[in-house]
Amino acid sequence: MNKAGLNLAIFASGNGSNFAAIVKAVKQKKIKVNSVILVCDKPEALVVKRAQKAKIQVILINRQDFAGRDDFEEAIIQRLKNYKIDLIALAGFMRILSASFVRRYRNRIMNIHPSLLPDFKGAHAIRDAFDQKAAFTGVTVHFIDEEVDNGPIILQQKIKISKKDTLTSLEKRIHTVEHKLYPEAIKLFIRAKQKHRKLTL
């Protein structure tokens, strides 16, 4: 066990490109963690195959198996307890977490959003910036709070929208930045945790 690291849970529901970027950084030892698990709410999601290929533990909790969100989230919490999770990284997890869940893991849940928050909140941030012919957009990694696409910002990177950009080319450039920025944000979290540990020893 690497005492300098932490236990990381990545929540994802879809393709899993940010999941793959984080796992790659872990494998290359750019991020020092004790363990990584994937929490997924969709058994058919491509991210599950990515995790299996990378030999990452997969926790499948299908939302359809539960009558309500409270039961669904309680099932997640109980599973997370088994892994003593220090940090949750939302990587395309297509569920809005309840206020009580957020409070339980206050300042331990990160999210990545494809805009310079607070601009272009919502599920279609890239398209909205493109359609509104914005001069710039970007990528934000932040801790989440009780509001959607809100909370303390950890890292941001601005991206200029070129007149030559198509929606597809802009999406590709934004995803490239996401894959670099998210591992960097996790590294910052680990450094802060290490510093706090040293101060309290």
Give the separation between CA 26 and CA 34, rounded to whole angstroms: 10
Model pLDDT, residue 195:
75
Helix (H, G, I), strand (E, B) or coil at 71: helix
176 has pLDDT over 60:
yes
Can you give the CATH number for the domain in which 25 is found? 3.40.50.170
The mean pLDDT of 55-70, rounded to a whole number, is: 96
Contact (CB, 8 A) for 195 and 37:
no
Predicted confidence at residue 2, as pLDDT, reads: 44
In angstroms, rounded to a whole number, what is the distance separating the alpha carbons of residues 76 and 80? 6
Please check the confidence at residue 3 and state whether its pLDDT lies above 60: no
Distance from C-alpha of 63 to C-alpha of 69, rounded to nearest angstrom = 8
Domain count, the chain: 1
The position carrying tokens 């801790």 is: 143
> Which of the four pLDDT bands, split at 50, 70 and 90, describes residue 193?
confident
- The Cα 40–Cα 33 span in angstroms is 20
Is pLDDT of 1 > 70? no
The radius of gyration computed from the CA coordinates of the chain, to the nearest angstrom, equals 17
* Total length of the chain: 201
* 199: pLDDT strictly greater than 80: no
Structural domain contains residue 1:
no
**Is the pLDDT at 127 greater than 60, yes or no?**
yes
pTM: 0.93
Out of 113, 124, 175, 196, the active site residue is 113
Identify the domain containing residue 185 by its residue range. Answer: 7-200
Residue 201 in this model has a pLDDT that exceeds 60: no
Of the two residues 201 and 191, the one the predictor is more confident about is: 191
Average of per-residue pLDDT across 120-146: 97
Question: Hey, which residues does 39 pair with through a beta bridge?
Answer: 11, 59
Angle at the Cα of 191 (from 77 to 180), degrees rounded to 5? Answer: 80
Q: Identify the bridge partners of residue 11 per DSSP, sorted by sequence position.
A: 39, 90
Following CA atoms 62, 66, 68, 72 in sequence, which dihedral angle do they give, to the nearest 10 degrees? -50
The reported pLDDT for the residue numbered 74 is 97
* CA–CA dist 193, 29 (Å, integer): 17
DSSP three-state, residue 92: coil
The question of whether 113 is a catalytic residue gets the answer yes
129 lies in some domain = yes
Mean pLDDT (the chain) is 94
The 10s digit of each residue's pLDDT in 65-124 is 999 999 999 999 999 999 999 999 999 999 999 999 999 999 999 999 999 999 999 999
Residue 197 has pLDDT above 80, yes or no: no
Report the b/e string of 108-140 with b at 16+ CB within 10 A: bbbbbbbbbbebbeeeebbebbbeeeeeebbbb
Coil/strand/helix, residue 145: coil
Q: How many CB atoms lie within 10 A of CB 92?
A: 19
Predicted confidence (pLDDT) per residue in 141-168, tens digit: 999 999 999 999 999 999 999 999 999 9
